Amino acid sequence: MPASESVRLGRKRVLPSCPNPLFLKWLTELRDESKEKGHKIQHVYQKAISSLNKYPLPLQNAKEAKILQNFGDGICKILDEKLQRYYRENGPNAPIHSLPQGAPPPGRPDNNNLAPRKRNAAGDKEKDKGGGGRKKKREYVPQKRSGGYAVLLTLYRQSQIPGSKGFMFKMELQTEAQLLCDKSFTVPDLGSKYTAWSSVSTLIQKSLVIKTHNPARYSLTEEGLALARRLESADPQSKDYADGDREEARSEGEEEEEEDGDPGVVDLTASDDDEEEEKEDDREHPAEKLARVSQPRSEVNVTSSSGKPQNSQPTGGRKLSGVCLLPGTYEILLCVDFIETTGGSHHRKQELVKELQRNGVSFDVRKLNVGDFLWVAREKVAPVPGQLRAPAGRELVLDYIVERKRMDDLCGSIIDGRFREQKFRLKRCGLRRPVYLVEECGKAASHLSLPETTLQQAIVNTQVVDGFFVKRVQDVRESAAYLTVMTRYLTKLYQNRTLICRSRELEGDGASDEEERGRPSCSLISFAEFNHGAVKNKCQTVREVFARQLMQISGLSGDKAAAILEIYSTPHSLLTTYDQCSNEAEKEKLLSSIRYGKLKRNLGPALSRTVYQLYCTQGALT
């Protein structure tokens, strides 16, 4: 305990103090007041506090704060009114860059003072040993089986494994920490928008957990390691929960002792990332949101209506990362994107569903972020006595995904640029066997905007140049027949195989040894990770945006764009190299010798000149 306190005090001494403590104090009070009332404006105040903490210069009045991010007219007006009241009470020459005598320093925002705190298991209040009569700030200790508690213990146990990589990704951290937490890490309780994952922002704020890289990597700091070690030694029974004995512990009455977390111990103030996720949920279509919530979740336990997670596995809580699905314990299920069954030509889309039902194919309609059809190996689970529905089985995605195109849809997607983008996203989705299912190939395309020869050439390029398997069918019935045959083929192909869950973040998307020997890959990613990684409008890096820009140029394919990105990963690096060229001819030929594709052909002078003109021409292009 003394060692961890000394580290904590040493850390706080090196933090730079805010040069505008009065503004910080008032914003903190406004945030706390709105949080107690449950107003969403608390997040606006929190963002303003973060901006103010980062600003290194003193502000003379609130109007100067408008240059800061998240400071609008409303906040500046409130701060100006408080500043005028402060001058009336303390005089016109009162200092605003230091607090009045006796006022507590604002420091960094601390939400532990928002509500009265309960005694923890130790139960003793810390007192100032120097005899000054002031109480020491109470150490943050997360409530047992809360989100912060589970995250700290999970990261600590992972760090103790020999050869550990020293960090965890978000998805694997949520999966393994779920076994130590009573609340879901992905589904909020009824009447709340917070999940157990929201407490990670508190751990980061208190320097117990550090978040780095993109995709995010989470690891323990020295303070977090010391606190997690004490939690582990104080609660050895928690290991039994991780081993799948949660039901026995609940029967002994331990669940009643771990009801809702102590509001003074667990801080659920959402970080900027959490707020962005909440905004995305608000923008989501109600039907999609209902379909998403109602779908089986492969990586979390099922949450009952009371908000308490139920044990999703009859044999105990097993981890999904590195899990094995043995032969006979899973079934092959066809997943159909809900767009294929709703909207547009309702009769045509219902005909596909009816054909699949007539052929006896087991399928599930859900939202797919890329592709129209794919297959998952879903674990078979037995119903739990006393529960209405059987628990959700874990799901691993087979390496086959189908994009369905009718000729009119193909024509429209070529015109508006979706065709190239879809192929690019299919290549990067993590599944190694993409299939293009093209309908109505035999019908005349004279009524379409593009000639039939152009459409046929696009189909051939998809197979020969892009490396997709192309299946041509005449109508919806043949599409359903192809999906039926594929379902039965994959069921037989995988019937005697043990499937292992892999992570794209850890192992990449390269071909496995089994695939090189002609066997189907048995190292598969989970459905939740696949669908999350295929989100179309997720936050993009500069490199990804640059790639999209390059691919808008006629004749510049994905392979050519990738070859350019290997040398010039951002527009800034490319423009800097252009500036270093001695003449115009050298600039136009800068990219011509870049090799791309398997044959390592040169990009050529024509495309090199086009890219140069696009990024370096002043004014409109002619």
Which residues does the annotation mark as catalytic? Answer: 337, 340, 372
Amino acid identity at 419: F
- How far, in Å, CA of 604 to CA of 591, rounded? 7
Alpha-carbon distance of 7 to 207, in angstroms, equals: 11
**Per DSSP, what are the bridge partners of residue 211?**
218
Give the gyration radius of the chain's Cα atoms. Answer: 29
Residue 301 CB neighbours (<10 A): 23
Q: Is the dihedral of CA 490, 491, 494, 499 positive or negative?
A: positive
Asked if 473 and 437 count as a contact pair (C-beta separation under 8 A), the reply is: yes
529 exposure class (CB count in 10 Å sphere: 0-12, 13-18, 19+): buried
| Cβ–Cβ < 8 Å for 334, 356 | yes
Please report, to the nearest 10 degrees, the dihedral formed by the alpha carbons of residues 311, 502, 156, 253 taken in order.
0
438, 405 contact by CB (below 8 A): yes
Q: 178 near 150, Cβ under 8 Å?
A: yes
**Separation of alpha carbons 135 and 452, rounded Å:** 81
Which amino acid belongs to residue 393?
Answer: G
How many residues does the structure list for the chain?
622
CA distance 84 to 71: 18
> Strands 433-439 and 324-325: what pairing?
unpaired
Q: What are phi and psi of 176, to 5 degrees?
A: -80, -35
Torsion over CA of 282, 286, 291 and 296, rounded to 10 degrees? 40
Q: Please enumerate in sequence order all residues whose Cβ is within 8 A of that of 69, keeping only pairs 6 or more positions apart, or say none.
A: 47, 51
Cα atoms in the 13 Å half-sphere on the side-chain side of 302: 21
Q: For residue 390, give the nearest of 506, 451, 310, 508 by alpha carbon.
A: 310
Q: Is the dihedral of CA 402, 405, 409, 411 positive or negative?
A: positive
- For the record, the structure tokens of 13 come out as 């001494």
- Cα-based distances in Å from 166 to 58, 148, 220, 227: 40, 18, 9, 17
Q: How far apart are CA 312 and CA 384, in angstroms?
A: 9
Q: Give the whole-angstrom CA distance, residue 328 versus residue 319.
A: 19
Identify the CA nearest to 38 among candidates 183, 191, 148: 191
Q: Strand, helix or coil at 514?
A: helix
Give me the half-sphere count of Cα atoms (radius 13 Å) on the Cβ side of residue 437.
21
Dmax (CA) of the chain:
93
**Distance separating the N- and C-terminal Cα atoms of the chain:** 71
Q: Closest by alpha carbon to 14, among 103, 101, 108?
A: 108
